[in-house]
Protein backbone atom coordinates (compact mmCIF):
# COMPACT_ATOMS: atom_id res chain seq x y z
CA UNK A 1 0.00 0.00 0.00
CA UNK A 2 1.30 3.43 -0.90
CA UNK A 3 2.35 5.56 2.11
CA UNK A 4 0.12 8.47 1.07
CA UNK A 5 -2.86 6.23 1.60
CA UNK A 6 -1.94 6.01 5.28
CA UNK A 7 -2.77 9.58 6.15
CA UNK A 8 -5.23 8.83 8.87
CA UNK A 9 -3.46 6.47 11.22
CA UNK A 10 -3.37 7.10 14.87
CA UNK A 11 -0.86 4.84 16.59
CA UNK A 12 -1.93 4.48 20.19
CA UNK A 13 -1.97 0.76 20.91
CA UNK A 14 1.21 -0.62 19.35
CA UNK A 15 1.33 -3.87 17.49
CA UNK A 16 3.31 -5.48 20.33
CA UNK A 17 0.33 -4.86 22.62
CA UNK A 18 -2.06 -6.70 20.35
CA UNK A 19 -2.10 -10.39 21.08
CA UNK A 20 -5.67 -11.40 20.49
CA UNK A 21 -7.94 -10.21 17.68
CA UNK A 22 -11.72 -10.49 17.84
CA UNK A 23 -13.75 -10.82 14.67
CA UNK A 24 -17.45 -10.24 14.11
CA UNK A 25 -20.00 -9.86 11.32
CA UNK A 26 -22.78 -7.32 11.79
CA UNK A 27 -25.85 -5.95 9.98
CA UNK A 28 -27.29 -7.61 6.88
CA UNK A 29 -25.33 -10.70 5.85
CA UNK A 30 -23.56 -10.78 2.51
CA UNK A 31 -22.07 -13.61 0.42
CA UNK A 32 -18.32 -14.05 1.04
CA UNK A 33 -18.49 -12.83 4.62
CA UNK A 34 -17.31 -16.37 5.40
CA UNK A 35 -14.38 -16.01 3.01
CA UNK A 36 -13.48 -12.80 4.88
CA UNK A 37 -13.76 -14.52 8.30
CA UNK A 38 -11.49 -17.30 7.02
CA UNK A 39 -8.92 -14.86 5.68
CA UNK A 40 -8.83 -12.72 8.84
CA UNK A 41 -8.52 -15.81 11.04
CA UNK A 42 -5.79 -17.48 9.01
CA UNK A 43 -3.77 -14.30 8.37
CA UNK A 44 -3.93 -13.50 12.10
CA UNK A 45 -2.80 -16.99 13.15
CA UNK A 46 -0.07 -16.96 10.49
CA UNK A 47 1.27 -13.75 12.02
CA UNK A 48 1.25 -15.12 15.58
CA UNK A 49 -2.00 -13.66 16.96
CA UNK A 50 -4.75 -15.57 18.68
CA UNK A 51 -8.28 -15.13 17.32
CA UNK A 52 -11.71 -15.08 18.92
CA UNK A 53 -14.95 -15.33 16.97
CA UNK A 54 -17.68 -13.07 18.37
CA UNK A 55 -21.19 -14.41 17.72
CA UNK A 56 -24.12 -12.35 16.41
CA UNK A 57 -22.29 -9.11 15.76
CA UNK A 58 -21.98 -6.58 18.57
CA UNK A 59 -24.57 -8.56 20.51
CA UNK A 60 -21.90 -11.20 21.19
CA UNK A 61 -19.75 -8.57 22.85
CA UNK A 62 -22.63 -7.80 25.18
CA UNK A 63 -23.71 -11.38 25.91
CA UNK A 64 -20.16 -12.75 25.94
CA UNK A 65 -20.88 -15.36 23.26
CA UNK A 66 -17.29 -15.69 22.10
CA UNK A 67 -15.42 -18.71 20.70
CA UNK A 68 -11.65 -19.23 20.43
CA UNK A 69 -10.89 -19.67 16.73
CA UNK A 70 -8.25 -22.03 15.39
CA UNK A 71 -7.45 -22.46 11.72
CA UNK A 72 -9.81 -25.46 11.49
CA UNK A 73 -12.77 -23.38 12.73
CA UNK A 74 -12.77 -21.70 9.33
CA UNK A 75 -12.21 -24.80 7.20
CA UNK A 76 -14.59 -25.49 4.32
CA UNK A 77 -16.40 -22.16 4.49
CA UNK A 78 -14.92 -20.16 1.61
CA UNK A 79 -17.72 -21.39 -0.68
CA UNK A 80 -20.58 -20.88 1.80
CA UNK A 81 -23.01 -17.96 1.80
CA UNK A 82 -24.21 -16.40 5.07
CA UNK A 83 -21.88 -16.06 8.04
CA UNK A 84 -20.74 -18.78 10.43
CA UNK A 85 -20.53 -16.09 13.14
CA UNK A 86 -24.22 -15.19 12.60
CA UNK A 87 -25.17 -11.56 12.47
CA UNK A 88 -27.54 -9.07 14.05
CA UNK A 89 -28.44 -5.41 14.23
CA UNK A 90 -27.83 -4.76 17.94
CA UNK A 91 -29.89 -1.93 19.47
CA UNK A 92 -28.13 -2.18 22.85
CA UNK A 93 -24.76 -1.42 21.27
CA UNK A 94 -26.22 1.90 20.11
CA UNK A 95 -26.31 3.05 23.75
CA UNK A 96 -23.27 4.18 25.80
CA UNK A 97 -24.23 1.63 28.48
CA UNK A 98 -24.23 -1.20 25.92
CA UNK A 99 -20.85 -0.18 24.58
CA UNK A 100 -19.46 -0.04 28.13
CA UNK A 101 -20.56 -3.66 28.66
CA UNK A 102 -19.01 -4.58 25.28
CA UNK A 103 -15.72 -3.00 26.33
CA UNK A 104 -15.74 -4.87 29.64
CA UNK A 105 -16.36 -8.14 27.79
CA UNK A 106 -13.35 -7.44 25.57
CA UNK A 107 -11.19 -6.78 28.65
CA UNK A 108 -12.36 -9.96 30.30
CA UNK A 109 -11.79 -12.02 27.14
CA UNK A 110 -8.38 -10.44 26.52
CA UNK A 111 -9.41 -9.17 23.08
CA UNK A 112 -7.07 -6.29 22.15
CA UNK A 113 -8.33 -5.38 18.67
CA UNK A 114 -11.38 -5.95 16.51
CA UNK A 115 -12.08 -6.69 12.87
CA UNK A 116 -15.67 -5.73 12.03
CA UNK A 117 -17.24 -6.99 8.81
CA UNK A 118 -20.40 -5.11 7.87
CA UNK A 119 -22.08 -2.18 6.18
CA UNK A 120 -22.47 1.47 7.09
CA UNK A 121 -24.42 0.93 10.33
CA UNK A 122 -21.83 -1.56 11.58
CA UNK A 123 -18.89 0.68 10.70
CA UNK A 124 -20.61 3.68 12.30
CA UNK A 125 -20.91 1.56 15.46
CA UNK A 126 -17.21 0.71 15.17
CA UNK A 127 -16.27 4.37 14.79
CA UNK A 128 -18.21 5.40 17.90
CA UNK A 129 -16.87 2.47 19.95
CA UNK A 130 -13.27 3.26 18.95
CA UNK A 131 -13.73 6.93 19.80
CA UNK A 132 -14.92 6.07 23.33
CA UNK A 133 -12.36 3.39 24.19
CA UNK A 134 -8.75 2.78 23.24
CA UNK A 135 -9.44 -0.10 20.87
CA UNK A 136 -7.86 -0.57 17.43
CA UNK A 137 -10.64 -1.49 15.02
CA UNK A 138 -10.36 -2.29 11.33
CA UNK A 139 -13.47 -2.67 9.16
CA UNK A 140 -14.18 -4.73 6.09
CA UNK A 141 -16.96 -3.56 3.74
CA UNK A 142 -19.47 -6.41 3.97
CA UNK A 143 -22.72 -5.50 2.23
CA UNK A 144 -24.49 -6.36 -1.00
CA UNK A 145 -25.44 -2.68 -1.42
CA UNK A 146 -21.98 -1.45 -2.52
CA UNK A 147 -22.79 1.84 -0.79
CA UNK A 148 -19.59 2.36 1.19
CA UNK A 149 -17.55 5.35 0.13
CA UNK A 150 -13.94 4.96 -0.97
CA UNK A 151 -14.13 1.40 -2.25
CA UNK A 152 -14.92 0.31 -5.79
CA UNK A 153 -16.75 -2.74 -4.52
CA UNK A 154 -17.99 -4.34 -1.32
CA UNK A 155 -17.94 -7.97 -0.20
CA UNK A 156 -21.11 -9.67 -1.51
CA UNK A 157 -22.03 -7.10 -4.15
CA UNK A 158 -20.87 -9.16 -7.13
CA UNK A 159 -22.73 -12.28 -5.96
CA UNK A 160 -25.93 -10.29 -5.44
CA UNK A 161 -25.56 -8.79 -8.91
CA UNK A 162 -25.24 -12.28 -10.37
CA UNK A 163 -28.32 -13.42 -8.45
CA UNK A 164 -30.26 -10.48 -9.90
CA UNK A 165 -29.01 -11.26 -13.39
CA UNK A 166 -30.08 -14.93 -13.12
CA UNK A 167 -33.52 -13.93 -11.82
CA UNK A 168 -34.09 -11.37 -14.56
CA UNK A 169 -32.98 -13.87 -17.22
CA UNK A 170 -35.75 -16.16 -15.97
CA UNK A 171 -38.29 -13.37 -15.79
CA UNK A 172 -37.50 -12.46 -19.40
CA UNK A 173 -38.72 -15.88 -20.54
CA UNK A 174 -42.15 -15.42 -19.03
CA UNK A 175 -42.28 -11.67 -19.82
CA UNK A 176 -41.73 -12.32 -23.52
CA UNK A 177 -44.11 -15.33 -23.63
CA UNK A 178 -46.92 -13.17 -22.23
CA UNK A 179 -45.71 -9.91 -23.80
CA UNK A 180 -45.67 -8.22 -20.43
CA UNK A 181 -43.93 -5.44 -18.60
CA UNK A 182 -42.09 -6.55 -15.46
CA UNK A 183 -41.01 -4.19 -12.70
CA UNK A 184 -38.35 -5.93 -10.68
CA UNK A 185 -37.47 -4.48 -7.29
CA UNK A 186 -33.93 -5.05 -6.07
CA UNK A 187 -32.21 -4.23 -2.77
CA UNK A 188 -29.64 -1.52 -2.18
CA UNK A 189 -31.19 0.43 0.69
CA UNK A 190 -30.81 3.97 -0.67
CA UNK A 191 -28.30 3.19 -3.39
CA UNK A 192 -28.87 2.21 -7.02
CA UNK A 193 -25.73 0.18 -7.75
CA UNK A 194 -27.51 -3.18 -7.82
CA UNK A 195 -30.39 -1.83 -9.93
CA UNK A 196 -28.25 -0.04 -12.49
CA UNK A 197 -25.58 -2.67 -13.01
CA UNK A 198 -28.14 -5.46 -12.68
CA UNK A 199 -30.09 -3.84 -15.52
CA UNK A 200 -27.03 -3.63 -17.76
CA UNK A 201 -26.04 -7.23 -17.01
CA UNK A 202 -29.50 -8.59 -17.76
CA UNK A 203 -30.34 -6.45 -20.79
CA UNK A 204 -33.22 -4.71 -19.02
CA UNK A 205 -34.83 -1.70 -20.69
CA UNK A 206 -34.41 0.71 -17.78
CA UNK A 207 -33.33 1.16 -14.17
CA UNK A 208 -35.01 3.45 -11.69
CA UNK A 209 -32.53 4.52 -9.05
CA UNK A 210 -32.69 7.06 -6.20
CA UNK A 211 -29.54 8.92 -7.32
CA UNK A 212 -30.97 10.00 -10.69
CA UNK A 213 -34.72 10.12 -11.03
CA UNK A 214 -36.34 9.11 -14.34
CA UNK A 215 -39.29 11.13 -15.62
CA UNK A 216 -42.46 9.18 -16.47
CA UNK A 217 -42.24 10.22 -20.16
CA UNK A 218 -38.70 8.99 -20.42
CA UNK A 219 -39.68 5.75 -18.75
CA UNK A 220 -42.56 5.29 -21.17
CA UNK A 221 -40.18 5.63 -24.09
CA UNK A 222 -37.73 3.10 -22.63
CA UNK A 223 -40.49 0.60 -21.89
CA UNK A 224 -41.83 1.04 -25.42
CA UNK A 225 -38.41 0.15 -26.81
CA UNK A 226 -38.67 -3.28 -25.23
CA UNK A 227 -41.97 -3.97 -26.97
CA UNK A 228 -40.83 -2.64 -30.34
CA UNK A 229 -37.95 -5.09 -30.40
CA UNK A 230 -38.22 -8.82 -31.04
CA UNK A 231 -38.32 -9.33 -27.27
CA UNK A 232 -41.93 -8.10 -27.15
CA UNK A 233 -41.57 -7.45 -23.46
CA UNK A 234 -39.99 -4.93 -21.17
CA UNK A 235 -38.11 -5.24 -17.90
CA UNK A 236 -37.40 -2.34 -15.57
CA UNK A 237 -35.23 -2.73 -12.47
CA UNK A 238 -36.36 -0.55 -9.58
CA UNK A 239 -34.13 0.17 -6.60
CA UNK A 240 -35.91 -0.16 -3.26
CA UNK A 241 -36.09 3.33 -1.78
CA UNK A 242 -38.62 5.88 -0.66
CA UNK A 243 -37.38 8.10 -3.47
CA UNK A 244 -38.19 5.59 -6.23
CA UNK A 245 -41.36 4.39 -4.51
CA UNK A 246 -40.18 0.81 -5.07
CA UNK A 247 -41.62 -1.43 -7.77
CA UNK A 248 -45.15 -1.12 -6.34
CA UNK A 249 -44.99 2.67 -6.49
CA UNK A 250 -43.71 2.64 -10.06
CA UNK A 251 -46.43 0.12 -11.02
CA UNK A 252 -49.08 2.55 -9.79
CA UNK A 253 -47.61 5.30 -11.97
CA UNK A 254 -47.38 3.03 -15.03
CA UNK A 255 -50.92 1.69 -14.64
CA UNK A 256 -52.24 5.26 -14.69
CA UNK A 257 -50.08 6.61 -17.51
CA UNK A 258 -49.66 3.50 -19.66
CA UNK A 259 -52.71 1.27 -19.12
CA UNK A 260 -51.95 -0.55 -22.39
CA UNK A 261 -49.21 -2.59 -20.68
CA UNK A 262 -49.94 -5.84 -18.89
CA UNK A 263 -47.73 -5.14 -15.88
CA UNK A 264 -46.37 -7.45 -13.20
CA UNK A 265 -44.23 -6.72 -10.14
CA UNK A 266 -41.52 -9.01 -8.78
CA UNK A 267 -39.71 -8.16 -5.56
CA UNK A 268 -36.53 -10.20 -5.37
CA UNK A 269 -36.02 -9.58 -1.64
CA UNK A 270 -33.65 -11.55 0.57
CA UNK A 271 -32.80 -14.10 -2.10
CA UNK A 272 -30.24 -11.45 -3.14
CA UNK A 273 -28.37 -11.92 0.12
CA UNK A 274 -27.87 -15.66 -0.14
CA UNK A 275 -25.94 -18.15 -2.20
CA UNK A 276 -22.42 -19.35 -2.77
CA UNK A 277 -20.16 -16.34 -3.44
CA UNK A 278 -18.72 -15.68 -6.88
CA UNK A 279 -14.99 -16.06 -7.48
CA UNK A 280 -14.68 -12.28 -7.57
CA UNK A 281 -16.29 -11.90 -4.12
CA UNK A 282 -14.23 -14.74 -2.62
CA UNK A 283 -11.02 -13.18 -3.90
CA UNK A 284 -11.75 -9.64 -2.73
CA UNK A 285 -12.94 -10.92 0.67
CA UNK A 286 -9.74 -12.97 1.02
CA UNK A 287 -7.49 -10.08 0.06
CA UNK A 288 -9.32 -7.65 2.32
CA UNK A 289 -9.26 -10.13 5.23
CA UNK A 290 -5.50 -10.47 5.02
CA UNK A 291 -5.16 -6.69 4.61
CA UNK A 292 -7.09 -6.14 7.86
CA UNK A 293 -4.40 -8.01 9.78
CA UNK A 294 -1.64 -6.15 7.94
CA UNK A 295 -3.37 -2.89 8.84
CA UNK A 296 -3.41 -3.77 12.54
CA UNK A 297 0.27 -4.77 12.36
CA UNK A 298 1.05 -1.36 10.82
CA UNK A 299 -0.66 0.38 13.73
CA UNK A 300 -3.74 1.40 11.74
CA UNK A 301 -7.06 1.93 13.51
CA UNK A 302 -10.49 3.26 12.64
CA UNK A 303 -10.07 2.45 8.98
CA UNK A 304 -12.01 0.34 6.54
CA UNK A 305 -10.14 -1.70 3.94
CA UNK A 306 -11.24 -0.66 0.46
CA UNK A 307 -10.21 -1.44 -3.08
CA UNK A 308 -9.52 1.21 -5.71
CA UNK A 309 -8.33 0.20 -9.16
CA UNK A 310 -7.41 -3.22 -7.78
CA UNK A 311 -5.22 -1.69 -5.08
CA UNK A 312 -6.10 -2.15 -1.40
CA UNK A 313 -6.47 1.12 0.47
CA UNK A 314 -7.36 2.38 3.95
CA UNK A 315 -10.44 4.56 4.26
CA UNK A 316 -11.16 6.27 7.60
CA UNK A 317 -14.52 5.18 9.05
CA UNK A 318 -15.83 8.76 8.95
CA UNK A 319 -15.34 8.83 5.16
CA UNK A 320 -16.48 5.25 4.45
CA UNK A 321 -19.97 5.84 5.85
CA UNK A 322 -20.61 9.05 3.90
CA UNK A 323 -24.01 8.85 2.26
CA UNK A 324 -22.97 10.17 -1.13
CA UNK A 325 -20.90 7.45 -2.80
CA UNK A 326 -21.09 8.52 -6.44
CA UNK A 327 -22.75 6.29 -8.99
CA UNK A 328 -21.33 6.30 -12.51
CA UNK A 329 -23.92 8.37 -14.37
CA UNK A 330 -22.56 7.23 -17.74
CA UNK A 331 -23.96 3.78 -17.01
CA UNK A 332 -27.51 5.11 -17.22
CA UNK A 333 -26.72 6.43 -20.66
CA UNK A 334 -25.16 3.10 -21.66
CA UNK A 335 -28.34 1.36 -20.57
CA UNK A 336 -30.45 3.80 -22.58
CA UNK A 337 -28.35 3.39 -25.73
CA UNK A 338 -28.40 -0.38 -25.47
CA UNK A 339 -32.18 -0.53 -25.01
CA UNK A 340 -33.10 0.91 -28.44
O1 LIG B 1 -27.96 -3.55 3.75
C2 LIG B 1 -28.28 -4.78 3.20
C3 LIG B 1 -29.76 -4.91 2.98
O4 LIG B 1 -30.00 -6.15 2.39
C5 LIG B 1 -30.42 -3.78 2.19
O6 LIG B 1 -30.23 -3.92 0.82
C7 LIG B 1 -31.84 -3.89 2.64
O8 LIG B 1 -32.51 -2.66 2.53
C9 LIG B 1 -31.72 -4.31 4.08
O10 LIG B 1 -30.44 -4.89 4.23
C11 LIG B 1 -32.76 -5.29 4.54
O12 LIG B 1 -32.58 -5.51 5.90
P13 LIG B 1 -33.31 -6.67 6.72
O14 LIG B 1 -32.66 -7.96 6.35
O15 LIG B 1 -33.07 -6.31 8.13
O16 LIG B 1 -34.73 -6.65 6.31
Task: Report residue 15's pLDDT band, with 50, 70 and 90 as the boundaries.
Answer: low
Q: What residue owns the CA closest to ligand 1's atom 7?
A: 189
Q: Look at residue 1 and tell me whether its pLDDT is greater than 70.
A: no
- pLDDT confidence tier of residue 337, bands split at 50, 70 and 90: very high
Q: Which atom of ligand 1 is nearest to the CA of 144?
A: 2
**Protein residue whose Cα sits closest to atom 10 of ligand 1:** 28
Ligand 1 site, residue 53, Cβ cutoff 6 A: no
In sequence order, what are the residues at sequence separation of 6 or more whose Cβ sits closer than 8 angstroms to the Cβ of residue 187? 144, 145, 160, 194, 240, 268, 269, 272, 273
DSSP, res 327: P
Residues 6+ apart with CB under 8 A from 152: 306, 307, 308, 309
Of the candidates 29, 112, 120, 145, the residue annotated as catalytic is 145
Residue count (the chain): 340
The burial class, CB within 10 Å (0-12 / 13-18 / 19+), for 206 is buried
Pairing of strands 50-54, 66-69: antiparallel
Please state, in angstroms and rounded to a whole number, the distance separating the CA atoms of residues 244 and 143.
21
Q: How far is the CA of 86 from the centre of ligand 1 (A)?
A: 15
Residue 262: pLDDT over 50: yes
Residue 61: what pLDDT? 98
Q: At 83, is the secondary structure helix, strand, or coil?
A: coil
Asked whether the CA dihedral 291, 293, 295, 301 is positive or negative, the reply is positive
Q: Which residues contact 98 (CB under 8 A, 6 or more apart)?
A: 58, 62, 90, 91, 92
85-137: per-residue pLDDT in tens?
A: 999 999 999 999 999 999 999 999 999 999 999 999 999 999 999 999 999 99
* Residues 236-257: tens digit of each pLDDT: 999 999 999 999 999 999 999 9
Quick: pLDDT tens for 183-229.
999 999 999 999 999 999 999 999 999 999 888 888 999 999 999 87
- Please work out whether the CB of residue 194 comes within 6 Å of at least one atom of ligand 1: no
pLDDT tens for residues 56-84? 999 999 999 999 999 999 999 999 999 99
Q: Which of 151, 164, 77 is nearest to 306 (CA)?
A: 151
Q: Is the pLDDT of residue 325 over 70?
A: yes
The Cα 138–Cα 23 span in angstroms is 10
Contact 284, 143 (CB under 8 A): no
- Gap between the Cα atoms of 156 and 60, Å rounded: 23
pLDDT of residue 129: 98
* pLDDT higher than threshold 60 for residue 8: no
Q: Please tell me the distance between residue 328's alpha carbon and the centre of ligand 1 in angstroms.
A: 23
Q: Nearest 5 degrees, angle CA 74-CA 283-CA 87?
A: 50
Chain mean pLDDT for the chain: 94
**Which of 26, 28, 120, 193 has most ligand 1 atoms within 8 Å of its beta carbon, as the pocket-test mutant?**
28
Per-residue pLDDT tens for 172-195? Answer: 999 999 999 999 999 999 999 999
pLDDT of residue 16: 61
Burial 92-104 (b: 16+ CB within 10 A, else e): ebeeeebbebbbe
330 assigned to active site: no
95 close to 103: Cβ distance less than 8 angstroms: no
Q: Whose CA is nearest to atom 3 of ligand 1?
A: 28
Which pLDDT value is given to residue 13?
56
For ligand 1, mutation pick of 83, 155, 187 (most atoms within 8 Å of CB): 187
Reported CATH class of domain 15-155+277-322: alpha beta
Instruction: Assess whether pLDDT exceeds 90 at residue 2.
Output: no
CB-ligand 1 contact for 316 (6 Å cutoff): no
Give me the residue spans of the domains in the chain: 15-155+277-322, 157-273
Ligand 1 pocket, 189 CB below 6 A?
yes
Q: Report d(CA 91, CA 103) in Å as an integer.
A: 16
Residue 210 CB–ligand 1 contact under 6 Å: no
For ligand 1, what atom is nearest to the CA of residue 272? 4
Q: Is the pLDDT of residue 11 over 70?
A: no
pTM for the model stands at: 0.94
Ligand 1 atom 11: the closest Cα is on which residue? 28
Dihedral sign, Cα of residue 162, residue 163, residue 168, residue 169: positive
For the cut 70, the answer to whether the pLDDT of residue 276 exceeds it is yes
Residue 94 confidence (pLDDT): 98
Strand pairing partners for 316?
303
Q: What is the largest CA-CA distance in the chain?
A: 70
Q: Answer whether residue 171 shows pLDDT above 50.
A: yes
Please give the CATH number for the structural domain made up of 157-273. 3.40.50.460
Residue ranges with strand state E in the chain: 20-25, 50-54, 66-69, 113-118, 137-141, 181-186, 206-208, 234-239, 263-267, 303-308, 311-316
Amino acid sequence: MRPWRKLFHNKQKTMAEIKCIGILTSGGDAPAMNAAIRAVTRAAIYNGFTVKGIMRGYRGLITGEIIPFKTQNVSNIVQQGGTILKTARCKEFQTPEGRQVAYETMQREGIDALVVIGGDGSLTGARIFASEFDIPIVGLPGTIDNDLYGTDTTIGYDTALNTIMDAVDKLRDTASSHERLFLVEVMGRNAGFLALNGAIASGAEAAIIPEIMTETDQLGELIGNGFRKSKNSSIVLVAESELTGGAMGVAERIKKEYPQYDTRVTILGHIQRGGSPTASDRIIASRMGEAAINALMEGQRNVMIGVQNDELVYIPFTKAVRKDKPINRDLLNTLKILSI
